Amino acid sequence: MKPTLVVLAAGMGSRYGSLKQVDGLGPNGETIIDYSAFDALRAGFGKVVFIIRKSIEADFVGAFAERFKGKVPYEVVFQELDMLPEGFTCPADRTKPWGTAHAVWAARNAVNEPFAVINADDFYGADSFQVMAKALSEPNLKPGTYFMVGYRLGNTLSEEGSVSRGVCSTNAQSYLETVVERTKIQRVNGTVCYTDENGNEVAVDENLPVSMNFWGFTPDYFEHTERMFSEFLKTSIDNPKSEFYIPLVVNTQIESGSATCKVLPTSAEWFGVTYPGDKPIVVSRLAQLAKDGIYPSPLW
């Protein structure tokens, strides 16, 4: 059975200022999602599940339905604020999404096989899909066999502003020990720093592996997520800024011994569009990849 690719595409891109999931950046108007789907299918994934909000369905389907027809087996599922485990009701004043772990949980009825998770607005590179597809296609994967593509922190920053990254620590066998979500990471006077919960700038080694939200999971992940999300909501449902992240689920499973997470090295170069100023850089890189013959042009 081929693994499935789950694409987190519900965010409107508040810092970017538009629905960047459908922004044409390639030489022939291709989106980053197009490249991800192309790389995934070429690497051996069987289908793509897109997680979006109902409010962007028309824009999203309008952008992709025709170009994916007959080429990309895909399904669309929705992430909405009121989609909560049984016994919980979304506060009326809640406007912030519940976070990446909630988004993945929204796909639980569409995925029954090992699966990968990526962001819609990150370009991960062909090699990253190949190493993940290979890992997830191993026969008889045991429940709790998780994976993560690791990128070098210093290569994932934006010159346009700060970013959030999952900073990882690994053991000698490249298994993940912890991943900590760090916010407001940027280069300050030549040193990479993040801002801690007290507002202090803390220097961090730019060679550390970071999570760019490219994960691989066995289907048991959904059960763990639902149980943990219920526990999370018991204490945080009334906090309008609380979010339930994938790293929390992974860390908890590692600590309890119910899962391992192998960090997969990749030769691929990550880039993404976090701020409007990032766009021309991405356009230039995609044009060069097409010129070098790494991708056909047009893509489909």
Q: Domain spans of the chain?
A: 4-151+210-291
* pLDDT (mean) for 258-262: 97
Confidence grade of residue 269 (pLDDT, cut at 50, 70, 90) = confident
Can you say whether residue 163 is alpha, beta or left, with left for phi > 0 and alpha for psi between -120 and 50 degrees?
Answer: beta
User: In the prediction, which pLDDT does 13 show?
Assistant: 47
User: In the prediction, which pLDDT does 23 show?
Assistant: 78
- For residue 3, pLDDT over 80 is answered with yes
Q: Checking DSSP bridges between strand 145-152 and strand 260-265, what pairing results, if any?
A: parallel
* pLDDT (mean) for 285-296: 96
**Tokens 């906090």 belong to residue:** 239
Q: How far is 13 from 26, CA to CA, in rounded Å?
A: 19
- Residue 228 Cα distances to 105, 176, 190, 199, 248, angstroms: 11, 20, 39, 28, 9
133-152 burial, b if ≥16 CB within 10 A, otherwise e? bebbbeeebeebbbbbbbbe
User: In the prediction, which pLDDT does 197 show?
Assistant: 86
**Cβ atoms of residues 6 and 118 within 8 Å:** yes
- For residue 18, pLDDT over 60 is answered with no
User: In the prediction, which pLDDT does 15 show?
Assistant: 46
**Tokens 């044409």 belong to residue:** 24
Residue length of the chain? 300
Q: Give the torsion through C-alpha atoms of 287, 292, 293, 297, to 10 deg.
A: 20
- For residue 242, pLDDT over 90 is answered with yes
User: In the prediction, which pLDDT does 21 show?
Assistant: 60
Confidence grade of residue 62 (pLDDT, cut at 50, 70, 90) = confident
Q: Checking DSSP bridges between strand 163-170 and strand 145-152, what pairing results, if any?
A: unpaired
CA 200 from chain centre, in angstroms, equals 27
User: In the prediction, which pLDDT does 296 show?
Assistant: 96
* pLDDT (mean) for 283-294: 96
Say if residue 93 is exposed, middle or buried (CB neighbours under 10 Å; 0-12, 13-18, 19+): exposed
Q: What amino acid is encoded at 59 in this protein? A: D
- Nearest C-alpha neighbor of 292 from the set 260, 269, 272: 269
Q: How far is 144 from 124, CA to CA, in rounded Å?
A: 24
Q: How far is 95 from 82, CA to CA, in rounded Å?
A: 10
- Nearest C-alpha neighbor of 181 from the set 197, 158, 159, 170: 197
**Cβ atoms of residues 208 and 167 within 8 Å:** yes
- Give tens-digit pLDDT for 164-184: 888 999 999 999 998 888 889
Q: Which two tokens stand for residue 55?
A: 């409010």
Average pLDDT, the chain: 92
Q: What amino acid is encoded at 89 in this protein? A: T
Q: What are phi and psi of 273, to 5 degrees?
A: -115, 95
- Give the 3-state secondary structure of 276-293: HHHHHHHHHHHHHHHHCC
Between vectors from CA 225 to CA 221 and to CA 228, what angle results, nearest 5°? 140
Which of 133-137, 154-158, 235-239, 274-278 comes out lowest in average pLDDT?
274-278
Instruction: Please tell me the CATH code under which domain 4-151+210-291 is placed.
Output: 3.90.550.10
DSSP string for residues in 95-143: -S---HHHHHHTTTTT--S-EEEEETTEE--HHHHHHHHHHHTSTTPPT
Strand, coil or helix: what is 263?
strand
pTM exceeds 0.85:
yes
* pLDDT (mean) for 119-126: 93
* pLDDT (mean) for 279-293: 94
* pLDDT (mean) for 255-259: 95
